[in-house]
């Protein structure tokens, strides 16, 4: 009971936050009080149980040994109690940090999604504006296709994970819309290996990357270009590649930077953690390939 009181005082008044010499002095003083109380109770018990000669019978030759034993028992019990409290505090600290990290990721992911909707919509509207004067009929057709595409895209944003097959369907629909704008200048290939189609990924993950491929690999050139998107499953990792046939950066810009790439990096960090997913870019002549290596989350969906 005395050890329990000392441990409770240590936790109640947060002595573990104070300077060690002060804490040690406090516990020494408490220990002296506790051992004194215990000794009086111990001696009083044998006084009643043995009678007037209790000292000669019980303590005469061993009182020092018994006092040291009591002191060691108190110190050992107190040390054990304070150690358990330390482990409990560390576990609570880790739990709070984990909760804060989850909350931060959720807040970051919500902010990213809030950016994605206008980002995608503005790019799509720019494509329509480019067609209005050139080909009003095609512009009307593009509006119809875009309305259907946006509906499916925005519905999917409320989900935490979706099959990669659905994401690729959205990419394919987006490229079909862009094909109206660019005509034969844009060719594309979007495919996934059969065993990779049901692997869950964050919704709208690939869209900014494909938009970048259209913007930098197709739009600046009068020649015919191609965008290739593929997904394969290797063990417990999903590999996604996005490539175009543009000129790449070739020193004209800083490879690996840009809003679409930044959004993707932030989403990967928010969903998978800091090091679980990798994002790699290449630059130079022959386009700007992007490779994503994602862990498979079995219970996602």
- What distance in Å separates the CA atoms of residue 209 and residue 29, rounded to the nearest whole number? 67
Cβ atoms within 10 Å, residue 120 = 20
Say whether 181 sits in a helix, a strand or coil. Answer: helix
The pLDDT value given to residue 226: 93
- How many domains does one find in the chain? 2
Question: What distance in Å separates the CA atoms of residue 188 and residue 134, rounded to the nearest whole number?
Answer: 23
Q: Same domain, yes or no, for 164 and 232?
A: yes
Tell whether 80 and 114 lie within a shared domain: no
What does the alpha-carbon distance between residue 206 and residue 211 come to, in Å, rounded to a whole number? 9
pLDDT, tens digit, for every residue of 171-222? 888 888 788 778 889 999 999 999 999 999 988 888 888 888 888 888 888 8
* Predicted TM-score (pTM) of this structure: 0.57
User: Mean pLDDT throughout 220-241?
Assistant: 92
Q: Is the dihedral of CA 176, 123, 224, 180 positive or negative?
A: positive
Name the domain boundary from 45, 69, 95. Answer: 95
Give the pLDDT mean for 144-161.
Answer: 73
Whole-number mean pLDDT of the chain? 80
| Domain co-membership, 86 together with 110 | no
pLDDT of residue 253: 40
Contacts of 199 (CB under 8 A, 6+ apart): 163, 164, 231, 233, 238, 294, 296
In-domain check, residue 300: no
**In this predicted structure, what is the pLDDT of residue 239?**
96
Same domain, 229 and 123: yes
Q: Same structural domain for residues 211 and 289?
A: yes
- The percentage of residues in the chain with a pLDDT greater than 90, rounded to a whole number, is 15
Q: Which two tokens stand for residue 173?
A: 């629909």
The pLDDT score that the predictor gives to residue 251 is: 38
- 171 inside domain: yes
Q: Look at residue 212 and tell me if it is in a domain.
A: yes
pLDDT in tens, 120-141: 667 667 777 877 877 788 778 7
Domain with 214, as residue range(s), is: 104-295
In a domain, 221, yes or no: yes
What integer pLDDT is reported at residue 262 of this predicted model?
Answer: 77
Whole-number Å distance between alpha carbons of 248 and 143 = 31
Q: What's the pLDDT at 109?
A: 56
Q: Are residues 72 and 171 in the same domain?
A: no
Domain check: are 84 and 120 in the same one?
no
The conformation of residue 121, written as its DSSP 8-state character, comes to: H
Res 255: pLDDT: 42
> Do 122 and 67 fall within a single domain?
no
Residues 72 and 109 in one domain: no
Please say which residue of 62, 78, 95 terminates a domain: 95
Instruction: Give the CATH number for residue 200.
Output: 3.30.565.10
Residues 56 and 124 grouped into a single domain: no
Is residue 301, in this structure, part of any structural domain at all? no
Among 95, 122, 137, residue at a domain's last position: 95
239 or 111: whose pLDDT is higher?
Answer: 239
CA dihedral angle for residue 17, residue 22, residue 28, residue 31, rounded to 10 degrees: -40
188: CB partners within 8 A, 6+ apart: 172, 175, 179, 226, 227, 228, 229
| 41 and 108 share one domain | no
Q: Both 190 and 149 in a single domain? A: yes
Q: Are strands 278-281 and 290-295 parallel, antiparallel or unpaired?
A: antiparallel
Averaged over 102-114, what is the pLDDT?
A: 57
Which of 299, 300, 281, 277 minimizes the C-alpha distance to 290?
A: 281
């Amino acid at each position: 009971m005395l050890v329990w009181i000392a441990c409770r005082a240590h936790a109640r008044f947060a002595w573990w936050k104070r300077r060690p010499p002060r804490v040690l002095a406090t516990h020494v003083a408490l220990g002296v009080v506790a051992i004194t109380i215990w000794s009086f109770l111990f001696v009083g018990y044998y006084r009643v149980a043995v009678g007037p000669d209790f000292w000669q019978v019980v303590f005469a030759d061993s009182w020092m040994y018994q006092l040291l034993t009591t002191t060691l028992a108190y110190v050992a019990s107190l040390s054990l109690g304070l150690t358990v409290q330390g482990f409990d505090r560390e576990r609570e600290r880790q739990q709070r940090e984990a909760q804060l990290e989850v909350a931060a990721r959720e807040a970051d992911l919500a902010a990213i999604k809030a950016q994605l909707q206008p980002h995608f919509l503005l790019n799509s509207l720019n494509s329509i504006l480019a067609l209005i004067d050139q080909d009003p009929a095609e512009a009307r057709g593009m509006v119809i296709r875009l309305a259907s595409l946006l509906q499916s895209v925005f519905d999917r944003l409320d989900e935490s994970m979706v099959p990669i097959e659905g994401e690729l369907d959205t990419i394919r629909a987006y490229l079909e819309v862009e094909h109206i704008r660019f005509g034969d200048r844009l060719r594309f290939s979007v495919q996934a290996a059969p065993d990779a189609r049901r692997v869950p990924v964050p919704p709208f993950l690939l869209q900014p990357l494909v938009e970048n491929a259209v913007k930098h690999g197709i739009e600046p050139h009068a020649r015919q270009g191609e965008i290739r998107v593929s997904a394969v499953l290797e063990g417990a990792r999903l590999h996604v590649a996005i490539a175009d046939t543009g000129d790449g950066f070739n020193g004209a810009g800083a490879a690996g930077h840009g809003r679409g790439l930044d959004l993707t990096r932030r989403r990967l960090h928010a969903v998978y953690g800091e090091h679980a997913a990798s994002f790699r870019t290449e630059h130079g002549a022959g386009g700007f390939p992007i490779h994503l290596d994602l862990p498979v989350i079995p219970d996602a969906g």
